[in-house]
Structure 1
Amino acid sequence: MTVTSPTFDELLTRAEGLVTRGRRSILGIVGAPAAGKTTLARGLADALGNRAVVVGMDGFHLAQVELQRLGRTERKGAPDTFDSHGYVNLLRRIKETSETVYAPLFRREIEEPIAGAVCVPPEVPLVITEGNYLLVDEEPWREVPGLLEEVWFLKPDEQERIERLVNRHRRYGRTLVEAKGRALGSDQRNADLIETTASRADLVLENLPLQNFVI
């Protein structure tokens, strides 16, 4: 594990090193809710153009109807509210297949995953996958690191992360009270679990200036 505060260009150079290996690589980006995973992943993919595509773990959220059946609606975002086996199998397929793979996409405005929304063509050399639980040492999550070339853990200032998370919840319709309750309740319990996995990352990226990471 290396702890660092690199520039975007430095991270882009490192990602490009994965592209030039002559075979498909998967880069993992992990961190707590609102740590900046999607911002960084999309910034890298935009800079790399047709050499990279982003596949989010959030596409494997269980649908609301299934969460209701399981009695887990209030715990949405916890490890057992994802199709974790499906996510692992998709990464394995991305790694091994020579065919086009379609991945799901989570749509926050409807709080549901959409199947087949992300196309991963066989000629794309780098897949960037981002999510909360890439380094959790429980089955089947513990299979994920073996499918990735590198894993980067985002560690922003905690107060800034919580503020971003509250603002995100408000953008999608929650009141200020509801947003704070979610951010400091179930989201924080998940964040505490995610924090324990940082030591398994190849890089721990501290306090990245995310406003500079959008191309």
Structure 2
Amino acid sequence: MSGARLIERVRGLAAGGDRVVIGIAGCPGAGKSTLAGRLVEGLAAAGLPAVWVPMDGFHLADVALEALGRLGRKGAMDTFDAHGYLALLRRLRAETGNVVYAPSFDREIEQPIAGAIAVPPGTRVVVSEGNYLLADDDVWRRVRAAMTEVWYAEVDDDVRLDRLTRRHVRFGKTRDQAVRWVAEVDEPNAALIRATRDQADLLVDIDALDLTDGHAATWSRGAGRSG
């Protein structure tokens, strides 16, 4: 599916006037964040004001993970504040008359940052990406229900694993530490996530999209503008 068709799909969902929340699920390193950022750019260019609100803002802080004994597997399902994320999604759907503030995640320090993202009243679309949006667990099923649609981003596994390893190195791990983390933490999580693939509303082939910087704005060409 092309970027322009993704824009058209969201336009159709927004036609009723309600705020749309698009979730993007997928394995670690699949390109979810890149797709979310480019989609927001393309939607804005098409006349649909959009904001990216990552699920990673609901990572538990390291101090909490250490107290829980979970720091060594940060990124697993139980290392997120799923109930807090659900509460925010419900606010984003319901509170369209005031600014709603959401947390971000700073990869430089690997910590969530409270109140870093403003979602103003004029926002038509919220795009949120995360690993577990399709998980078959009570709170995550409610997360899924709070979203308009959830897409699944997929990419060649060799590309994904190389990208993931290089990302860990870029943010402070040695090459050996990165390889071990991917094998012992990321890939067990990926197996769980991959099992949810068939629950998605749409499968997005990341390899088929041009996700280079600045290109997503061209997705709106030929798609018209929101009236």
TM-score by length of 1: 0.93
Aligned to 2:22: 27
Deviation at 1:172, TM superposition (A): 0.5
Alignment of 1:121-140 (within 5 A): 121-140=120-139
CA 210–107 in structure 1, closer or farther in 2 if over 3 Å, else same: farther
1:153 match: secondary structure: strand
Q: Separation in 1 of the partners of 2:5 and 2:176?
A: 39
Q: Separation in 2 of the partners of 1:148 and 1:214?
A: 27
CA RMSD in angstroms, aligned pairs only: 1.3
Q: Separation in 2 of the partners of 1:34 and 1:130?
A: 12
Answer with 49-58 or 71-80: which moved more. Answer: 49-58
1:116 match: secondary structure: strand
Alignment of 1:1-215 (within 5 A): 6-49=1-44, 51-97=49-95, 98-209=97-208, 211-212=210-211, 214-215=213-214
Deviation at 1:121, TM superposition (A): 0.8
Q: Which amino acid aligns with 1:15?
A: V
Q: Which amino acid aligns with 1:119?
A: A
Q: Separation in 2 of the partners of 1:146 and 1:213?
A: 31
| Structure 1 residues 5-37: Cα deviation after superposition (integer angstroms, max 9, x where no partner) | x12222122122233331111011000111111
Q: Separation in 1 of the partners of 2:186 and 2:209?
A: 21
| Structure 1 residues 192-214: Cα deviation after superposition (integer angstroms, max 9, x where no partner) | 11011111101112343455354
Aligned to 2:222: none
Q: Which runs of 5+ in 1 are unaligned?
A: 1-5
The answer to whether the 8 Å contact 2:55/2:128 transfers is yes
Deviation at 1:46, TM superposition (A): 1.0
Q: Percent identity?
A: 47
The answer to whether the 8 Å contact 1:39/1:214 transfers is no
Q: Which runs of 5+ in 2 are unaligned?
A: 215-227
Q: Separation in 2 of the partners of 1:183 and 1:17?
A: 38
Q: Separation in 1 of the partners of 2:211 and 2:66?
A: 40
Q: Which amino acid aligns with 1:127?
A: V
Aligned to 1:3: none
Q: Which amino acid aligns with 2:191?
A: D
TM-score by length of 2: 0.88
The answer to whether the 8 Å contact 1:33/1:187 transfers is yes
Deviation at 1:173, TM superposition (A): 1.3
**How many matched pairs?**
210
| Structure 1 residues 54-93: Cα deviation after superposition (integer angstroms, max 9, x where no partner) | 1100000000000000000011000100000000010001
Q: Separation in 1 of the partners of 2:136 and 2:194?
A: 12
The answer to whether the 8 Å contact 1:54/1:129 transfers is yes
